[in-house]
A and B are shown apart, each in its own frame.
Chain A
Amino acid sequence: MSRKKSQEKIFEIKWKTDLPYRYSIGKLAVKFFEELKENKKIMGSKCSKCGKVHSPPRAVCAECFIEMTVEDMVELSPRGTLEGFTVINYPFTDPATGGLRPFPYGYAIFKLDGADTYTMHFINETDYTKLKVGQRVEAVFKEEREGNIGDIMYYKVIKEEK
């Protein structure tokens, strides 16, 4: 299944574009990042009707269509369970920087204790043979936190009696 090498002559016009954006993140997210930065706390939001705990915090519960406010935010455990994982091992341009995102990196989906939804983030393991669905994990926080999701550097697998 060899592929023919393209011999076509290419005419190109090249330029680079910066595309600056500024996003509003909402009051619940502000509270989340303040708690993360100041107190190393991970917060979710709890629906006052069905009791579902959303992580990350959301302003509206999908099923109930009920609004949640900062008053409905609850603290979640930094520990949880590994539900799925992969190791990203391909090159691509990161739209946040315009450069290549470093790879390989561990990427996983967790369920934090106390949450009813799942969370995606980095895991500090690039050997997928060492990961297993059901393993216990814990958030590792940055020492100098800035108030963004990167303040949770990654989750790591921990040994813990279930």
Chain B
Amino acid sequence: MPKHDVAIVGIGQTKFRSKRRDVNIPEMIYEAVKMALDDAQLEPKDIDALIIGNMDHFEGINFSELMCGIEAAPGYLKPIVKVATGGTTGSSLAICGYHNVASGIYDNVLVIGWEKLNEGGATTGIITAFDPVWERPSLAGALGPLALMAGMYSAKYGITAEQAAKVTVKNRSNAANNPFAHLQMPNITIDYVMSSQMISYPLRLHDVCPQSEGACALIYANEEETKKITDNPAWFHAVETAHYYTFGTDDKMYDLPTATFASKKAYKKAGIKNPVKDLDVAEIYEPTSWSELSWTEALGFCKPGEGGKLLDEGITLMSGEFPVNPSGGVLSTNPIGATALVRVAEAAIQVMGRGEKRQVPDVEKALAMGFGGSLWTEILILGKEPMR
């Protein structure tokens, strides 16, 4: 059992863009860190420890801890833990930070994720994350396997390209309400998505996430420190991790069993019986339009094969009963090491009621999801009140 309740008390994120040529990596991280510190009204000296991470081989800088001594973040004379778990890096950071405070090791931590994806090649970098002998020769980064998953999912349940296109339309028009989002497309149409270039059947250009640059920083505190910092925190109710096989191909590549496994455990911990009714909003990690439909099934928002129907019925729209990705999601913003941390930040923003134009009314509980590795899932549930 955790010794402490843990809350998010400070949030910072950069405006995400395709390229941030005006800053180097530490300068970019600093922007998010400064914003989080200002948000919590804390000084660097107040921070107990740092949890940091990105996928360092994407930029080819393999000891990024160095940057977090002074330039990027207040790590000077403080403990730093570094975490890198592929697409789930951001959610692993978020969960690692939680454990460090919940266990009583630290009273507060600063959690930072970032990526400057266009300084390397995302696809090239992702290939080097996989087995050099068996997988790399045919692997084309993440999109190839995601295309296989989309095709298998579509073949199994009869999900259509039009249903998938609706996800991009929903998320990128939601992104227009989020000042930090990378791709903001208020007037995007289904036809625009469906007539974009086929880059890896059945994925078209606008069925897939962009490559973004930016950073996200969160400050966590235990119950005692939280009281001193803010009267509007977002409390952790549950965190769960489900890792899977080494090779993606060790299992069938659809239905994301780890999402079902991790979410069921998290729902039990957080007292969630029916996620669509008991949760108010979800920020999920959808690398493609097709994946959002599949993940909503795996997370128990609807039955297997009904992800398309869930969106057709408008349930996951901003105006619906259970909005999914009001921030615009990963289809709008994807700085890999920060991507899943942004899901947690946005879930906290919803719980705190600070979402402005992207705010869902009356949020009590929010879910954040990380996806990556070879079919890995991480789940975090946040709430307005502490768990106990």
On chain A, the residues within 8 Å of B124 by CB distance are: 92-95
- Proximity bits, B250-268, A CB within 8 Å = 1, else 0: 1111000000000000000
A124 at the interface (CB under 8 A from B): no
- Proximity bits, B187-205, A CB within 8 Å = 1, else 0: 1100010000111111100
B249 engages A101 (CB within 8 Å): no
CA distance A83 to B124 in the complex (A): 25
B149 at the interface (CB under 8 A from A): yes
On chain A, the residues within 8 Å of B138 by CB distance are: 107, 120-122, 149
A:1-53 near B, CB below 8 Å: 1, 8, 10, 17, 21, 23, 25, 29
Q: Return B155 CB to nearest CB of chain A, in Å.
A: 4
Q: Which residue of A lies closest to B185 (CB)?
A: A1
CA distance A66 to B355 in the complex (A): 50
A88 engages B133 (CB within 8 Å): no
On chain A, the residues within 8 Å of B134 by CB distance are: 29, 56, 149
CA distance A83 to B145 in the complex (A): 12
Question: Helix, strand, loop or mixed for chain B's interface?
Answer: loop
B:200-215 near A, CB below 8 Å: 200-203
Measured as residues with beta carbon below 8 angstroms from the partner, the interface class of chain A is 35 or more
Contacts A88-B200, A90-B143, A92-B124 given; does A83 touch B133 at CB 8 Å: no
Interface centre among A1, A84, A148 (most CB of B within 10 A): A84
Q: Return B83 CB to nearest CB of chain A, in Å.
A: 23
B140 engages A92 (CB within 8 Å): yes
CA distance A151 to B132 in the complex (A): 15
B300 at the interface (CB under 8 A from A): no
Q: Return B321 CB to nearest CB of chain A, in Å.
A: 30
A117 engages B201 (CB within 8 Å): no
A86 engages B148 (CB within 8 Å): yes
On chain A, the residues within 8 Å of B203 by CB distance are: 86
A107 engages B148 (CB within 8 Å): yes
On chain A, the residues within 8 Å of B155 by CB distance are: 84, 133
B15 at the interface (CB under 8 A from A): no
Contacts A119-B249, A120-B249 given; does A85 touch B133 at CB 8 Å: no
Q: Which residue of A lies closest to B146 (CB)?
A: A86
CA distance A89 to B21 in the complex (A): 28
A23 engages B144 (CB within 8 Å): no
B251: contacting residue among A87, A101, A118, A150, CB under 8 A: A118
B200: contacting residue among A10, A23, A90, A148, CB under 8 A: A90
CA distance A133 to B187 in the complex (A): 36
Q: Which residue of B lies closest to A60 (CB)?
A: B246
A:70-126 near B, CB below 8 Å: 83-90, 92-96, 101, 103, 107-109, 117-122
B199 engages A90 (CB within 8 Å): yes
On chain B, the residues within 8 Å of A58 by CB distance are: 246
CA distance A89 to B245 in the complex (A): 28
Q: Which residue of B lies closest to A93 (CB)?
A: B124
CA distance A90 to B139 in the complex (A): 12
On chain A, the residues within 8 Å of B252 by CB distance are: 83, 118
On chain B, the residues within 8 Å of A148 by CB distance are: 133, 137
CA distance A149 to B134 in the complex (A): 7
Contacts A86-B151, A90-B200 given; does A23 touch B133 at CB 8 Å: yes
B136 engages A95 (CB within 8 Å): yes
A83: contacting residue among B139, B147, B152, CB under 8 A: B152
B123 at the interface (CB under 8 A from A): yes
A109 engages B253 (CB within 8 Å): yes
B141 at the interface (CB under 8 A from A): yes
Q: Which residue of A lies closest to B249 (CB)?
A: A118
Q: Return A111 CB to nearest CB of chain B, in Å.
A: 9
B135 at the interface (CB under 8 A from A): yes
On chain A, the residues within 8 Å of B139 by CB distance are: 120
On chain B, the residues within 8 Å of A117 by CB distance are: 247, 249-251
A65 at the interface (CB under 8 A from B): no
Q: Which residue of A lies closest to B192 (CB)?
A: A1
B127 at the interface (CB under 8 A from A): yes
CA distance A58 to B200 in the complex (A): 29
Q: Which residue of B lies closest to A25 (CB)?
A: B133
On chain B, the residues within 8 Å of A122 by CB distance are: 138
Contacts A1-B185, A149-B134 given; does A120 touch B143 at CB 8 Å: no
Q: Can you add 11 more A-B contacts, CB < 8 Å, to A87-B198, A90-B200, A107-B140?
A: A1-B187, A62-B246, A84-B155, A88-B200, A95-B124, A109-B148, A117-B250, A120-B148, A149-B133, A149-B134, A150-B137
Q: Which 9 A-B pairs rank lowest in CB-CB distance, beginning with the nearest?
A: A86-B147, A92-B123, A84-B148, A128-B201, A118-B249, A84-B152, A88-B140, A133-B155, A93-B124
A-B contact pairs, 14 of them (CB 8 A): A84-B253, A85-B151, A86-B202, A90-B140, A92-B124, A92-B140, A92-B141, A95-B128, A95-B136, A101-B140, A117-B247, A117-B250, A120-B248, A122-B138
